[in-house]
Chains A and B, each alone.
Chain A
């Protein structure tokens, strides 16, 4: 066991993957000498060379498009998108090429790309630097979508993502980059599926589903709820595509109440999919309609306003109160 930051855990995972497979190459903006704007690729170019840690010209579509070409020739590119809001220029290559080439070629061409995306807010950043675009990619068949919440998962699952023959969107909660945690570097990678959620805190009354940076907030909320005698089960989704409905169903069958939280906008978001699917799958176990505690349907706001947008502990607890039918912010409002 060693203690390391979330960012160092990904760095260590990347290093392991590069040592393990000479076909793993990194490509992105400023990832070489600088080590990336978040230093996630720190020292990797020095140790593996500029031919394997490639500083790309500033063109996201080309980062993805050239990675497709490298994958055609048997490489496993790991693309870094510098910030969440910079991914849209690459959207066509991701959605129309990366996601569909295995299908289009009837399984003859594999696209084992990993697309790393620092995502989410809470760091007081400028526009386009705090977004949560995961739902676009969850909606795209052919992609796997992962979001890790802690250093151990980050270390293990970045390696699993790189080893996976499917393209993986790997969303890293950037406000957690500097948080330290225990990492077992000798952990059995096989025990980290790319499809499994994890029950972070077991509980009986409410299922609270989160991913990325909000997992820690949800855990804090569960502890606060416990003081009020409410037992909240916290689930870290980890995989956003596919969603691990086995774990979700087992929890909701037990609690009968579901709250989903994410920073991304509500409409058409992950919460909508979880709520709809769980309602379909275990309607008769539900004691209340699923509740979403999410960012609003607004462009990501300026830094001094972002605390209104980001779900925090109190908003999660308000959601818990709603799903339990306790007095809450919308009490008395019809159709809430």
Chain B
């Protein structure tokens, strides 16, 4: 029943780089020329951010990194469809979406360097702190959308999650609530085929998108490596939500070309031919082919895009290695909004404990 291609997959840009017409084409009719080049630049830059962060991990500067390699089109296509006042609730792999939201590069790696429990201020870029508990954020997005509706606003909440998350109760409960309250929320599932070592066939015996109609939520399967198609289906879902049409579900069929995280070893569970097969559907290559064919990928353009990627990578590296070390008592900060007497006592005692080393002439035990 499941497929990674076929008639039910929305595609506007073939792996060969040919732009094709279709019912969804009108949603991205405005994307040409400089806008196509802009999407290309975005994808090149976030792939470069990803590579740089992976390198930083290999060099011991980050404890861990969850690569998005291969999922650039799904994240940029959908991320660039959003409005500023829409609000994103994502997992930890959506650094491409965070880039679209305007996240500071250093904020992307604070957690992975172990310096802070989070990076950006959610209210500055309208994107929640990434969620590690699988699928939990889909409920937050739904609740946010319910509140948006209470406010009478036309902003939309967007939940990003993976194929593995669709087995979680929270994701299914989120769809029940979203449908019952007709919440303006978009469920954007990146089916990257793998949940660490578990193939999507273990999570679902049907196409994941097939589940949503059972909840009363319209769904669409889209070629997740086709940036135009991802943007088109997201625009349609956003418009449905804004106009009072309630929730939508998007299954972006893509592929996690890298490991789950830098701590993972996919060679233990994946057929190398599968990766080679998907490399033929690379999201950036196919847009490059289209740009070339349309004369939009001149030397000037590639030079500019590569320079931007270099610059961003340099900023990421600099931000990473110059992050200040956290203070000794910072662990106690922000547990509560107002002092909690028992915790205050623990902070006081620990501060005395630390001071006792200084009183003894410095050094640590």
Q: Are B144 and A142 in contact (CB under 8 A)?
A: no
Query: Shortest CB–CB separation between residue A126 and chain B, in angstroms?
Result: 24
B269 interfacial contact with A, CB 8 Å: no
- Kindly state whether residue B180 has any CB partner on chain A within 8 Å: yes
In the assembled complex, the Cα of A25 lies from the Cα of B181 at a distance in Å of: 15
- The one of A59, A62, A73, A241 in contact with B342, judged by C-beta atoms closer than 8 angstroms, is A241
Contact status B334-A106, CB under 8 Å: yes
Are A69's CB and B334's CB within 8 A? no
Do A25 and B118 touch (CB < 8 A)? Answer: no
Residues of chain B within 8 A of A65, CB atoms compared: 136, 138-140, 142-143, 170, 173-174
Which chain A residues (106-154) contact chain B, with CB distance < 8 Å?
Answer: 106-110, 141-142, 144
B281 to chain A, nearest CB (A): 35
B151 in the interface (beta carbon within 8 A): yes
User: Which A residues lie within 8 Å of B174 (CB)?
Assistant: 62, 65-66
- Considering the complex, which residues of chain B in the window 95-120 have a beta carbon less than 8 Å from any beta carbon of chain A? 116-118
Shortest A81–chain B CB gap in Å is 15
Are A66 and B340 in contact, with the CB atoms below 8 A? no
Of chain A, the residue at the smallest CB distance from B142 is A66
Is A244 part of the binding interface, using a Cβ–Cβ cutoff of 8 Å? yes
- Asked whether A70 is an interface residue with its Cβ less than 8 Å from the other chain, the reply is yes
Q: Complex Cα distance A107/B117, Å?
A: 11
Q: How far is the CB of B103 from chain A (nearest CB, A)?
A: 14
Chain B proximity of A29: nearest CB distance (Å):
12
**Residue B273 at the A interface, CB < 8 A?**
no
- For chain A, residues 258 to 314, give those with C-beta under 8 angstroms from any C-beta of chain B: none
Chain A nearest CB from B165 CB (Å) reads 13
Q: Does B29 contact A (CB under 8 A)?
A: no
**For the complex, what is the distance from the CA of A54 to the CA of B181, rounded to whole Å?**
10
Rounded to whole angstroms, the CA-CA distance of A47 and B340 in the bound complex is: 36
Q: Say whether B34 faces chain A, with CB atoms less than 8 Å apart.
A: no
| Whole-angstrom distance between the Cβ of B57 and the nearest chain A Cβ | 21
Closest-by-CB residue of B relative to A66 is: B143
A57: CB under 8 A from chain B? Answer: yes
Q: What CA separation (Å) do A104 and B331 show in the bound complex?
A: 11
The answer for the CA separation of A189 and B87 in the assembled complex, in Å, is 36
Residues of B within 8 A of A75 (CB): 147, 150
Please pick, from B151, B333, B335, the residue contacting A142 in the complex, using a CB distance under 8 A.
B335
Q: Which residues of A contact B140 (CB under 8 A)?
A: 65-66, 68-69, 72, 97
A69 touching B338 in the complex, CB below 8 Å, given contacts A59-B173, A93-B136, A105-B129: no
A277 and B128 alpha carbons, distance in the complex (Å)? 38
Task: Find A62's partner among B121, B122, B147, B176 (CB 8 Å cutoff).
Answer: B176
Contact between B117 and A103, CB atoms less than 8 A apart = yes
Inter-chain contacts of B173 with A (CB < 8 A): 57, 59, 61-62, 65
Given contacts A69-B139, A242-B342, contact A166 B117 (CB under 8 A): no
Would B141 and A96 count as touching, CB distance under 8 A? no
Q: Which residues of B contact A242 (CB under 8 A)?
A: 340-343
A62 to B139 CA separation, bound complex (whole angstroms) = 6
A73 contacts across to B, CB distance below 8 A: 87, 144, 147-148, 151
- Out of A51, A56, A166, A244, name the residue touching B177 (CB < 8 Å): A56
The answer to whether B139 and A102 have CB atoms under 8 Å apart is: no
Q: Which residue of B lies closest to A195 (CB)?
A: B341
Q: Say whether B43 faces chain A, with CB atoms less than 8 Å apart.
A: no
With contacts A69-B145, A165-B337, A166-B336 taken as known, whether A245 is within 8 angstroms of B342 at the C-beta atoms is yes
How many angstroms from the CA of A109 to the CA of B87 in the assembled complex? Answer: 14
- Residues in B whose Cβ lies below 8 Å from that of A244: 341
- B143:A57 contact, CB within 8 angstroms: no
User: How far does the alpha carbon of A164 sit from the alpha carbon of B340 in the complex, in Å?
Assistant: 12
CB atoms of A106 and B338 under 8 A apart: no
Residue among B173, B176, B335 with max Cβ neighbours from chain A (10 Å)? B173
The reply to whether the CB of A320 lies closer than 8 angstroms to some CB of chain B is no
B139: chain A residues at CB < 8 Å are 61-62, 64-66, 68-69, 93
Chain B residues contacting A59 (CB-CB under 8 Å) are 169, 173, 176-177
How far in angstroms is the closest Cβ of chain A from B117? Answer: 5
In the complex the two chains form, is B141's CB within 8 Å of A103's CB?
Answer: no
Q: Are the CB atoms of A106 and B89 closer together than 8 Å?
A: no
Q: Which residues of A contact B177 (CB under 8 A)?
A: 56-57, 59, 62, 66
Contact across chains for B176 and A106 when beta carbons are under 8 A apart:
no
Q: Is A92 an interface residue (CB 8 A)?
A: yes
Complex contact A70–B342 (CB within 8 A) = no
Kindly list chain A residues whose C-beta atoms are within 8 Å of the C-beta of B144: 69-70, 72-73
What B residues does A195 contact at CB under 8 A?
340-341
Interface status of A74 (Cβ within 8 A of chain B): yes
Q: How far is the CB of A319 from chain B (nearest CB, A)?
A: 25
Bound form: Cα–Cα A59–B89 in Å: 20
Collect the chain A residues with CB atoms within 8 Å of residue B142's CB: 62, 65-66, 69
Complex contacts, A218 vs chain B, CB 8 Å: none
Binding site for B on A (CB under 8 A): 25, 51, 54, 56-57, 59, 61-62, 64-75, 77, 89, 92-93, 96-97, 101-110, 141-142, 144, 164-166, 195, 241-246
B interface, CB within 8 angstroms of A: 87, 89, 116-118, 121-123, 128-129, 133, 136, 138-148, 150-151, 157, 169-170, 173-174, 176-177, 180-181, 333-338, 340-343
The 7 residue pairs across chains A and B that have the minimum distance between CB atoms: A69-B143, A65-B139, A66-B143, A62-B173, A69-B144, A73-B147, A165-B337
Can you name 18 A-B pairs with beta carbons within 8 Å? A57-B173, A57-B177, A59-B169, A66-B139, A66-B143, A68-B139, A68-B140, A69-B139, A69-B142, A69-B157, A73-B151, A97-B133, A102-B336, A105-B121, A106-B116, A141-B335, A142-B336, A245-B342
**A65-B173, A66-B177, A142-B336 given. 4 additional CB < 8 A pairs?**
A54-B181, A56-B177, A68-B139, A75-B150
